[in-house]
Amino acid sequence: MRKGTTFTRFIIEEQRRIPESTGEFTLLLSSIVTACKEISDDVNRGQLINVLGSADTENVQGETQKKLDIISNEIMIRAMEWSGNLAGMASEEMETMYSIPSRFPKGKYLLVFDPLDGSSNTEVNVSIGTIFSILRCPDGITDPKEEDFYQAGTQQVCAGYVLYGPATNLVLTTGQGVNGFTLDQDIGEFILTHPKLTIPERTSEFAINMSNQRHWEPAIKRYIDEVVAGEDGVRGRNFNTRWVASMVAEVHRILMRGGIFLYPRDNRDNVTKGRLRLLYEANPMSFIIEQAGGSASTGRERILSVQPEHLHQRIPVVIGAKEEVERVHRYHIEMDKELNGSPPHRQAN
Ligand code: F6P
């Protein structure tokens, strides 16, 4: 007999701890996980079932969509719309929010998701994933508008991702710590393999797309110059680097062994406000990282406190080991003071 707590058992036991629970949330999570198993299967068999490559369409952010982006989005919508737990959905791949069709009952939650993050990696068989965030539909609202999704990350009821890598992992938080599961392909169930995940405060591993270096603000240049200088510089120790170009994989690595991930704002036209999306990338990942003992910042403020202003809002992301994120934050404060003419806080290096 196999050992281990199944995801189904895990969420039902969690539900039992909350006496007033109706089971709605448990069913919602269960439907999300079923959808992700289907996406996992398509990703896994991609080449064989001819779902790789470009769809020759663009999403709302002007990015070329992959066939698998569209298929994954469709899987999520079809798996979730009938469930009766949701009042609305929003996705990276849809310009406007998705209203639950009138033939289905509505529920008290809102779901935001990136159906296939890092999808530029599909053809090269590198890890990608689905990211999701569950919000409460504001009281008294049964027909939500887009504004009802504009809730700060602190309001999230649950955040999670499913990583489609050598193994398929589900990582989840409801604000009571972070738990990780691995899909047992033979029985089609996620098994609790990484209970109570925590990340070390200190790290010697960083992830950033170095090809953007010339566009960065001075605070990021300073931080990266220092870690690259290693034991010959002010940090006095060597750092290693990684870049997968798939945020799910980067965050997963940080949860497994520590690290810091940065996608800062820079001076390119489309990145002045950051590259990653607040509602369905930065917020869920920040919730998970904070719950695991890490930090998540724009460089200037806590990501989870940012008030969203639209569905596809972009935001700078500095996420991971507390000590490093706090250092990057300090460098931004010092840079802003210098640029605003206040006395420099530090000696120039
Ligand atoms: O859209 C998100 C994303 O694919 C992330 O998963 C990843 O971290 C980032 O974009 C990669 O960006 P770039 O192609 O600029 O390295």
Task: CATH number of the domain at 66, please.
Answer: 3.30.540.10
Same domain, 276 and 143: no
Q: Is 293 annotated as a binding residue?
A: no
Q: Is the CB of 209 under 6 A from ligand 1?
A: yes
In a domain, 346, yes or no: no
Helices and strands counted in the chain (H then E) = 7, 17
In a domain, 317, yes or no: yes
Same domain, 17 and 161: yes
Same domain, 57 and 120: yes
Which residue, by CA, sits nearest to atom 4 of ligand 1?
Answer: 118
In a domain, 324, yes or no: yes
Q: Of 194, 216, 236, which residue sits at a domain end? A: 194
In a domain, 326, yes or no: yes
Candidate of 117, 210, 211 to mutate for ligand 1, largest count of ligand atoms within 8 Å of Cβ: 117
* Distance from Cα 118 to the centre of ligand 1, integer Å: 6
Question: Residue 128 CA: which ligand 1 atom is closest?
Answer: 6
Same domain, 34 and 102: yes
Same domain, 249 and 330: yes
Q: Which residues pair with 240 in a beta bridge?
A: 205
Q: Is the CB of 247 under 6 A from ligand 1?
A: yes
In a domain, 302, yes or no: yes
Counting Cα atoms < 13 Å in the Cβ hemisphere of 322 gives: 9
Q: Is the CB of 130 under 6 A from ligand 1?
A: no
Q: How many angstroms separate the CA atoms of 76 and 112, rounded?
A: 10
In a domain, 345, yes or no: no
Same domain, 123 and 21: yes
Q: Exposed e or buried b for every residue in 23-58, given b needs 16+ CB within 10 A?
A: ebbbbbbbbbbebbbebbbbbeebeeeebbeeeeee
Please check whether residue 113 is in contact with residue 131, taking contact to mean a CB–CB distance below 8 angstroms.
yes
Query: What angle separates helix 24-45 from helix 67-80, to the nearest 10 degrees?
Result: 150
Same domain, 110 and 237: no
Task: CATH number of the domain at 213, please.
Answer: 3.40.190.80
In a domain, 53, yes or no: yes
Same domain, 163 and 85: yes
Q: What is the pLDDT of residue 347?
A: 34
In a domain, 30, yes or no: yes
**How do the pLDDT tens digits run along the chain, 349 residues long?**
667 999 999 999 999 988 888 999 999 999 999 999 999 999 999 888 888 888 888 887 788 888 999 999 999 999 999 999 999 999 999 999 999 999 999 999 999 999 999 998 999 999 999 999 999 999 999 999 999 999 999 999 999 999 999 999 999 999 999 999 999 999 999 999 999 999 998 899 999 999 999 999 999 999 999 999 999 999 999 999 999 999 999 999 999 999 999 999 999 999 999 999 999 999 999 999 999 999 999 999 999 999 999 999 999 999 999 999 999 999 999 999 998 875 444 433 3
Q: What is the pLDDT of residue 349?
A: 31
What total number of domains does the chain contain?
Answer: 2
* Distance from Cα 275 to the centre of ligand 1, integer Å: 8
Q: Is the CB of 245 under 6 A from ligand 1?
A: yes
Same domain, 187 and 216: no
Q: Tell me whether residue 13 is exposed, middle or buried, using C-beta atoms within 10 angstroms of its C-beta: 0 to 12, 13 to 18, 19 or more.
A: exposed
Q: Which residues pair with 179 in a beta bridge?
A: 172
For the question of whether the overall pTM of this predicted structure is more than 0.85, the answer is yes
Q: Is the CB of 157 under 6 A from ligand 1?
A: no
Same domain, 230 and 143: no
Q: How many angstroms separate the CA atoms of 307 and 291, rounded?
A: 20
Candidate of 72, 91, 114, 120 to mutate for ligand 1, largest count of ligand atoms within 8 Å of Cβ: 120
Question: Residue 250 CA: which ligand 1 atom is closest?
Answer: 8
Q: What is the pLDDT of residue 342?
A: 57
Candidate of 66, 164, 209, 247 to mutate for ligand 1, largest count of ligand atoms within 8 Å of Cβ: 247
Q: What is the pLDDT of residue 30?
A: 96
Q: Is the CB of 122 under 6 A from ligand 1?
A: no
Q: Is the CB of 192 under 6 A from ligand 1?
A: no
Q: Is 209 annotated as a binding residue?
A: yes
Candidate of 65, 161, 246 to mutate for ligand 1, largest count of ligand atoms within 8 Å of Cβ: 246
* Distance from Cα 93 to the centre of ligand 1, integer Å: 15
- Using DSSP, state whether 7 is helix, strand or coil: helix
* Residue 163 structural domain: 7-194
Q: Of 139, 167, 194, which residue sits at a domain end? A: 194
